[in-house]
Structure 1
């Protein structure tokens, strides 16, 4: 079974070596301000996960972008990610993102999880500049804005990422980035990275991939084999009570998979457990749940109370007649669109990201897909495919229909995202999302950090340069530098426009400085601690 509890320290641990490594990137003589944190990331290898499975890159999901180890396992070269951006005031790092905007985009910020050493949670503006970077060095997936107790909250999965899945838990933060809740799967399981969705019932939907003994002879594997079970749980956020624990091998036939045991997943040991279904999306829909299974290229609607399968869409046992141009494979992020008076997913319009193949597939392109699903007639027809040339993602990926009917497609292992109009015109292209992002969203978000701004100062022959940042603050328009030779008598020295995640301002030399964040009306939102200026070594 999957481990319980032990994911916490490993997930958030930043080693002293990692801290010093990032700190050494700062120029000599720079003084760190309050709240400085290191982005010291570690990727957990196969040897660190006794009893769990490590599969080949071709049959993995998030693990297709999980580092050089996966490339070595499948005999493929891992492409090197671009050098990240580094900051002096807080020691965080971020992917070097580029944005090309050619039309009016929907309102909101971009929520990403680009893989650096692990998947890093990052909120970006429309210039590709970070607004918030997850500060604790945890692997992050499915970063998005949801509603909890009637208020917008920031949520994500946090934990250790392996080849194709992870072990961790769900996190809920308020608009001051204070942790409101940690949500775990029950019955001794660790939550997988693929889904963490809140419902209007005060519950959360999560999945888990425990390793179990299983007879694999129906798919050509050993009788005394090992399988990655797929568990889907609905958990009460406040109490942790498990309200539903759906078990794939009890409801689906092993032969529904289009995978075969082999390679690094022969199914003969726990480490090589066979990944038959690979659930990667869960959506509440009234008294049912819509489940997406990558390795059977199918969607399954199950009863939320009994767990019974109501229908299958796609795959080898589809209950629907799917038009040829509406077919999909190895898909992600399947969602019925909201259409009810309470925003519930009751319509017959379905969105998903069609990978159209896995890692190693040649000559195909991926797409965002809109489908009309007639559950009475059991038919599925194509509404529109959103494509970008021959862009292909062999793993991960997402599709979000926005409030203004624009569509945002995250291209998974292709480290980019595209916003389209409803008729398929490209209005924004985001590239450089590190080594790829599991999902990409656009949401409105206002952040008011509970921390104070960060500051760093360096003096050299060119003068005094002060670096200011405030991780997560969305309302900063300008920065004011305050300074003096007496730390008790600081006075305003200069004010400048915020120019990105970190703003550099030059001023006359003094011995002590602080920075104040100002809003558009010039009101002070927050002030850093005061730091002593030291000369930068030559």
Structure 2
């Protein structure tokens, strides 16, 4: 199946009879700031390049040789000036570049490796404030995936990995003797590299929960789950987002049992007015009872509406989910892959619009105070009040 709807077409604003089209995934020639009206001072961390655009037939070949297409970890100030950069070795991609805290010290972290069929095969890196690597992690002997590398205050890491397995795929229209990717969430002790917990989507989620079941371009395996974020809930259990089931799962970190589901085909919560998301990324708790997620609302093959950031309040007593806020972009962006939303201490939110190549900042009232265009988008964008030094 070709992604013809997103290439060479201008985005539409949508109507009662037609869903909007995915936004063209090629933006400015370089990082270009269009709006800077009271944005929070500081820096933006992101990864450049076209590793994610490999999902789009023809994009990688069309832009090969362009400097902006080269994968790199970059820090810019709010004026758009590049202040720090890491270029990986030839043949390697980098992604999910951010600041985190390890042993009480601020560090740089990222994923590095090869992008294959919509996921990554590589390792996760921790570097000091100058970019010197101090730790390198895998998933217990298996390569880690690009989608998540989150450090916890007690020295653990939450990482994703994809494993090819044989499976009967007739339930989703595939072959009886088929091959698919099992999406795995692991909790790793950084110091010892020991895997403390490993959660397999294939063991806990029925194939029939999938809302998108196509094989991705460049892959010979089905991808019915597509894990893309792991975070901790207020009780210390795992919050797992899976794009291809359009569901956020809360998973007991001790037993692996699913405690509840938000969205998808079997939501534990009744979804209130306006709580509608699909193919989402980056699900995290914004407060003790509120989930924040990046609602792609599009897979490229199917689009349900504009992309947005949603804040959803969960009432466990009544099993109801209520929309607190839905933040769209003034340009009516539709990101058919990637994307995130990160809190800023002053209450603002930095949004990376994924394959819709923008990074924006919004106030709690929804005012956009910052907007920049990128050449090819970025998996995630993170705010910080400091920049590394060489």
Residue 276 in 1 paired to residue 224 in 2? yes
Q: Is the 8 A contact 1:301 1:312 kept in 2?
A: yes
Q: What secondary structure sits across from 2:123 in the alignment? A: strand
Deviation of the 1:203 alpha carbon: 1.0
Question: Which is greater in Rg?
Answer: 1
Q: Which has the higher contact order (CA 8 A, sep 6+)?
A: 2
1:147 counterpart residue number? 101
Quote the Cα distance in structure 1 between the aligned partners of 2:372 and 2:297: 22
User: Superposition pairs for residues 162-311 of structure 1, below 5 Å?
Assistant: 162-186=116-140, 188-261=141-214, 271-285=219-233, 286-311=235-260
> Normalising by the residue count of structure 1, what TM-score does the alignment of the two structures yield?
0.62
User: Superposition pairs for residues 90-489 of structure 1, below 5 Å?
Assistant: 96-115=30-49, 116-117=68-69, 119-137=71-89, 138-186=92-140, 188-261=141-214, 271-285=219-233, 286-337=235-286, 339=287, 347-361=288-302, 364-389=305-330, 390-431=332-373, 433-449=374-390
Q: Is the 8 A contact 1:351 1:400 kept in 2?
A: no
Residues paired across the two proteins, number:
351
> Normalising by the residue count of structure 2, what TM-score does the alignment of the two structures yield?
0.85
Q: Is the 8 A contact 1:110 1:123 kept in 2?
A: yes
C-alpha spacing 1:262/1:402, structure 2 compared with 1 (3 Å) = closer
Q: Is the 8 A contact 2:25 2:377 kept in 1?
A: no
Quote the Cα distance in structure 1 between the aligned partners of 2:122 and 2:216: 27
Give the number of the structure whose residues are more often strand, by fraction.
2
Quote the Cα distance in structure 1 between the aligned partners of 2:249 and 2:360: 28
C-alpha spacing 1:436/1:163, structure 2 compared with 1 (3 Å) = farther
Q: Is the 8 A contact 1:170 1:183 kept in 2?
A: yes
Quote the Cα distance in structure 2 between the aligned partners of 1:284 and 1:108: 26
Range with greater deviation from structure 2 (102-111 or 326-335): 102-111
* Root mean square deviation, CA, Å: 2.2
Q: What secondary structure sits across from 1:295 in the alignment? A: helix
Give CA deviations for 1:332-375 in whole Å, capped at 9, x if unaligned: 011002x5xxxxxxx11211111111114458311111111122
Give CA deviations for 1:88-117 in whole Å, capped at 9, x if unaligned: xxxxxxxx1111334222232101112244
Quote the Cα distance in structure 1 between the aligned partners of 2:328 and 2:98: 24
Q: Which runs of 5+ in 2 are unaligned?
A: 8-21, 50-67
Deviation of the 1:311 alpha carbon: 0.7
